[in-house]
Amino acid sequence: MPPSVRSPRSRPITLLAAAAVLVLAWSAWWFVDEAPSLRPSAREAPGSAAPEALRTPPELEPPEDVGAPSPEARGERAVAAAERREPTLQIEPARLVVRAEDRSPLGPLRGFDVRVASDTRFAAEHGTADGELELPLTPGTYAVVVAARGCEPAEIARVELTSGATVRLDPVVMQPGSACIRGAVFDALGMGRSVVVELIGAGRRPCERCIEPSDVDGARPAGAGVPDAKRSAPDAWERRDPCRACGYARDASRFELRAGDGFAFGNLVHGEYVVRLTDQRGAPLGDEERLQLLPGGSGSVVLDASRSRMVELDFVDVDGSSLATLWSRRLAVLDEEVPEEEIVGSEVVTDFAIDLVVEDELGERARARLDPPLPSGVGMTLVGVSSGRSVHVSRDFALRRRTVVDRARTAEDRLLLDPAAPRFPVAQLECEVAASGLALLGPLPTSALKLRATRSTATAEAVVPAATATTRVRLRLQAP
């Protein structure tokens, strides 16, 4: 067959080749002119249309009359959407294993706290009594602080954590507190009475002799039929009776003393402490003394049992009448023991019990209840009032799986925490009406105080000025 003559069978092949060439040429032209608009880093020029894949659906676009977004804004939204579709890089967390030990006779630890912080991340976790804690953390460089009750905090300045690695620190041996507070008691009035000195603060710790039989666990004192009884070390932290050696007890450390005696509270962690005197009933005597201790440091204090006073309360009723005059007259009638059959007339009782609250610059310090004298022949029945509500709180905790325990660090996240300022419980004082009709409240410290009185239908407030002698204060009851 001549070269110029083609077989009919070759015509479809030729047509297919020509079509393929045309498709390739059109694709190349489209890629050059149109494809750049699909790249995440590209920005559409004003007036150009976004590619169909990135274009906002017409039904989601705002009407033109309310300010449709510009093409530039739509392009930036498309880029942001594309970036959100990018897969998130998953980093395997690092693991930090911390072990804390108390090798003193009071060991092992009942628990400990671990706080870790980098420049941007922070975590705080609590370890149980087994002494070991594992923390899954975001890889990075951390500082670590380990703290336990009655021990000085231990700090590891720099720990490098890499993805997928487990770092086990050497055992952290906790050091018991070694600071001390020494003091003396005197009584300027020379009364020679017995007083109790009390100490509170978060860093108190039992001594080795605290691990002896006591009523804390129901055991009788040593020598009382149980000579071999021995309390386990953890129970020393919960003893209710003060240790004769160090004064430690669960709520406060205490020593019973007389004027001229000295005392010493040891085994203290650095921090703030408060010391005070009380009488045998637990009523505070004088002013509290606050001390700030450094690690291994010492402090001293002198307490004066005479620096307390009584406060006379002169109540004025809401109508301006003196309740002191009324109460004095009632007491006089009671003292005369007038026979009940000779009582003529009746008196409407409106002055019911009055609740008193004493506050200082740090808050509430003492409470008392005043029960005024009743008219002769009148009895009072106190009826307890209950709200009748039973509150049941139910919470559903949604457990979320977390790969790490750390979070973004804030300005409030600190490695070393200062415990809350120690504060003695609110004292319960006595308040009685004297023959003069004045209510006598005390003992109270000599510093300035604020007094608030509340009755069922009226309230009153007054400032008690600083003084060393008995102070009289007038309280004018006012209807709310």
Stretch 55-61: mean pLDDT, rounded?
43
Stretch 456-466: mean pLDDT, rounded?
91
Q: Which residue has better confidence, 57 or 133?
A: 133
Find the CATH number of the domain harbouring 148: 2.60.40.1120
Per-residue pLDDT for 401 more than 60?
no
232 and 263 fall within a common domain: yes
- Residue 471 pLDDT grade (very low, low, confident, very high; cuts 50, 70, 90): very high
Cis preceding-peptide flag for 108 (omega within 30 of 0): yes
pLDDT of 396 reads: 32
203 and 250 fall within a common domain: yes
Residue 27 lies in a domain: no
pLDDT tens figures, 129-155: 767 899 999 999 999 999 999 999 999
Stretch 306-332: mean pLDDT, rounded?
90
425 and 320 fall within a common domain: yes
Per-residue pLDDT for 338 more than 70?
no
Quote the CA–CA distance of 421 and 290 in Å, as a whole number: 10
Asked whether 478 and 460 are in contact (CB, 8 A), the reply is yes
Tell me the pTM: 0.67
- Residue 190 pLDDT grade (very low, low, confident, very high; cuts 50, 70, 90): low
126 and 262 fall within a common domain: no
241 and 294 fall within a common domain: yes
Residue 34 lies in a domain: no
131 and 222 fall within a common domain: no
Complete edge-to-edge strand list for the sheet that includes strand 449-455: 427-428, 363-370, 354-360, 449-455, 458-464
Find the CATH number of the domain harbouring 292: 2.60.40.10
Residue 57 lies in a domain: yes
295 and 315 fall within a common domain: no
Maximum average pLDDT range among 30-34, 158-162, 402-406: 158-162
235 and 168 fall within a common domain: no
449 and 314 fall within a common domain: yes
pLDDT of 343 reads: 38
pLDDT of 161 reads: 95
Residue 190 lies in a domain: yes
Q: Give me the domain span that covers residue 320.
A: 309-379+416-476
- Range name among 105-114, 144-153, 169-178, 245-254 with the lowest pLDDT average: 105-114
Residue 101 lies in a domain: yes
Query: DSSP of 321-363, one letter per residue?
Result: -BHHHHHHHHHHHHHHT--GGG--S--------EEEEEEETTE
pLDDT of 349 reads: 47
User: Which structure tokens are listed for 479?
Assistant: 């209807």
- Range name among 85-89, 111-115, 196-200, 329-333 with the lowest pLDDT average: 85-89
Per-residue pLDDT for 378 more than 90?
no
pLDDT tens figures, 72-126: 566 566 545 544 544 444 689 999 999 999 999 888 888 999 999 999 999 999 9
- Residue 193 pLDDT grade (very low, low, confident, very high; cuts 50, 70, 90): confident
Per-residue pLDDT for 225 more than 50?
no
pLDDT tens figures, 351-366: 578 999 999 888 899 9
Mean pLDDT (the chain) is 76
Residue 60 lies in a domain: yes
pLDDT of 250 reads: 92
What's the distance, CA 466 to chain centroid?
A: 32
Stretch 452-467: mean pLDDT, rounded?
91
Stretch 252-281: mean pLDDT, rounded?
93
Q: Which of 155, 176, 197 is the last residue of a domain?
A: 176
pLDDT of 347 reads: 43
pLDDT tens figures, 363-372: 899 999 999 8
pLDDT of 145 reads: 96
320 and 462 fall within a common domain: yes
Q: Which of 149, 176, 203 is the last residue of a domain?
A: 176
67 and 100 fall within a common domain: no
Residue 102 lies in a domain: yes
What backbone phi and psi angles, to 5 degrees, belong to 148?
-145, 155
How would you class 71 by CB atoms within 10 Å of its CB: exposed for 0-12, middle for 13-18, buried for 19 or more?
middle
Contacts (Cβ under 8 Å, ≥6 apart) of 433: 327, 331, 370, 372, 373, 439, 440
pLDDT of 291 reads: 95
201 and 253 fall within a common domain: yes
Asked whether 451 and 358 are in contact (CB, 8 A), the reply is yes
- Range name among 218-222, 388-392, 447-451 with the lowest pLDDT average: 388-392
Q: Which of 249, 281, 304 is the last residue of a domain?
A: 304
CA distances from 46 to 23, 43, 51, 71 (A): 30, 9, 14, 6
Instruction: Count up the domains in the chain and report the number.
Output: 4
Report percent pLDDT > 70 for the chain.
66
Asked whether 252 and 298 are in contact (CB, 8 A), the reply is no
Quote the CA–CA distance of 115 and 431 in Å, as a whole number: 48
Report percent pLDDT > 90 for the chain.
41
Residue 21 lies in a domain: no
Per-residue pLDDT for 67 more than 70?
no
